[in-house]
Amino acid sequence: MKNRITSRFLLFSISATIIVIFFSTVIVLLMISGQDANVKNPRAITLVFSNYISKNSEGEIKINDDGKAILDEKSGWVQLLDENGQEVYSYNKPLNVKDKYKPYELIDAFLYSRIGYINYVSNFEDYTIFTGFPDKDFTKFVVDTSDNKEEIFLTFGFIIFLVGLFTYTIMGRIFSKKITGPIEIIIQSIDNLDRLNEKEVEVENYGMYKNVFDNLRALQSRLHLAKIKEKEFEKQRNEWMANISHDLKTPLSSISGYSEIMADKKYDLSSAEIIKYSEIIRKQTKNIENLISDLSLELKIKSTEDIIKKESIKLNLFLKELVISILNNYQYAHRDISFEDDGELYFQIDKELFGRAITNLITNALKHSGPKAIVKVSIKKTSEGHGRICIIDDGKGISRKMLEKLFIRYYRGESTEGVEGTGLGMPIAKNIIEAHGGKITVSSEEGKGTTIIIDL
């Protein structure tokens, strides 16, 4: 890379030098050949034009009658420019002449006839005198061939300096664009990465910089993806917090209300009413305990695997007992759940945690599949000697959108409205199964049901 930069710099330098020598020689020859000693030329007029300009105490600039007469005679015009190139005064200025100039524009106008005028530059105090005369009436450059060789030398030197300045400025910009242009884009791209700007890094064939741009674009894609996931997670977290607040407020309101009634002496409660209210308080307290338990367990499973205490058990018998336990719950006593196995299957599992995961999956199937849906639970041994647990229902199924987010923490789908839960049951089940070295997959079709497969 270093050699390529050096060679390019030398090439530009040599090219610029050749251009300066060529154009300086041409300009000098044109000046000499265009000499006309019998005419008071525009250059001479411009050099002494400061004598015709005055400035009063209020800063107002004026040109006297003699100066105006000279310009009128030659059909010329004049502008006075401040240090920023802005016009502060003009006389006879054509409509197509600018009011403000950049330094290189003055140089360009001095060297070339752009709008039908030849231009010269002089000074008055802190102002630049910029004159123009019709190029059809005057030769571009006129040299005063007096014996004042020093003035001629300085004039030639000034012209060569202007040509060199103009040439090296243009060539320098070209070189800068070729060499440092990509670096500026790299800096801009890094700045965009810092702000996570969504605008993609534009990668072209920048030669030695191409790998840098490729890496920047790849990094930007990863950061952009992370930003999207972060926004999605934040949205889910906020929704989950709202749900948790609601799930806590509901039982707490019941507990608070019934407690106040039982504590207030003005209410003459019967024994049956006291038992009824106490049962409601107990139930709502249990709901809060379950919510806190889910939160605590989810955090423990994500942070460490030390809580997994495995022991060898007959998994088929263990699952059968879970199904019976669910059916014994009055909420599901009327539901249709079947169980099927292939005989004795021994596996190393944590009975409490694994049982909780399977219970979550089965009760979710019961809650969300519809009251008339049939849930089938089975366990079989695969040809590779692994265990496969299937939980299948013929209920209303899960939409593709919900299926993609089923195991995302804090997510509660549209079909969970009116159903108690924290949005952590499915993520907890997945984490417990994976902590046992297993894998869970879910497939579903709306209107036809859902299938959950757990491979151990």
DSSP string, 116-165: SEEEEEEEETTEEEEEEEETTTS-S-----SS-HHHHHHHHHHHHHHHHH
Please indicate whether residue 316 or residue 305 has the higher confidence score (pLDDT): 316
Please indicate whether residue 223 or residue 379 has the higher confidence score (pLDDT): 379
Fold assignment, 206-303: Helix Hairpins (1.10.287)
Task: Give start-end residues of each CATH 3.30.565.10 domain in the chain.
Answer: 309-455
Instruction: Give me the mean pLDDT over the 435-454 stretch.
Output: 89
Residue whose entry in the numeric block shows the structure tokens 């030849």: 118
pLDDT at residue 37 tops 70: no
Element (H, E) at 358: helix 351-368
- 3-class DSSP assignment, residue 349: strand
Q: Write the pLDDT tens digit of every residue in 353-398.
A: 898 889 889 988 888 877 888 899 999 988 888 889 999 998 888 8
β-pair type (336-341, 61-63): unpaired
pLDDT at residue 132 tops 50: yes
Please indicate whether residue 4 or residue 153 has the higher confidence score (pLDDT): 153
From the number of C-beta atoms within 10 Å of its C-beta (0-12, 13-18, 19+), residue 375 rates as buried
Instruction: Give me the mean pLDDT over the 284-299 stretch.
Output: 75
Question: Which one, of 391, 402, 374, 376, lies nearest residue 433 by Cα?
Answer: 391
Confidence of residue 440 (pLDDT cuts 50, 70, 90): very high
Torsion 19-24-25-31 (CA) sign = positive
Whole-number percent of the chain with pLDDT over 70: 76
Crossing angle (nearest 10°) for helices 315-327 and 351-368: 50
Residue whose entry in the numeric block shows the structure tokens 């015709």: 52
Task: Give start-end residues of each CATH 1.10.287.130 domain in the chain.
Answer: 206-303
Instruction: Give me the mean pLDDT over the 407-419 stretch.
Output: 58
Q: Write the pLDDT tens digit of every residue in 251-260.
A: 788 888 888 8
Confidence of residue 36 (pLDDT cuts 50, 70, 90): very low
pLDDT at residue 147 tops 50: no
Q: DSSP assignment, residue 200? A: P
User: Lowest-pLDDT range, 231-235, 295-299, 339-343?
Assistant: 295-299
Instruction: Give me the mean pLDDT over the 341-354 stretch.
Output: 86
User: Lowest-pLDDT range, 18-27, 100-109, 381-390?
Assistant: 18-27
pLDDT at residue 24 tops 60: yes
pLDDT at residue 273 tops 80: yes
pLDDT at residue 452 tops 90: yes
Q: 3.30.565.10, 3.40.50.10190, 3.30.200.20, 3.40.50.300: which CATH number matches 309-455?
A: 3.30.565.10
Instruction: Give me the mean pLDDT over the 243-252 stretch.
Output: 72
Please indicate whether residue 191 or residue 273 has the higher confidence score (pLDDT): 273
Q: What are phi and psi of 411, to 5 degrees?
A: -85, 130
User: Lowest-pLDDT range, 232-236, 252-256, 278-282, 372-376?
Assistant: 232-236
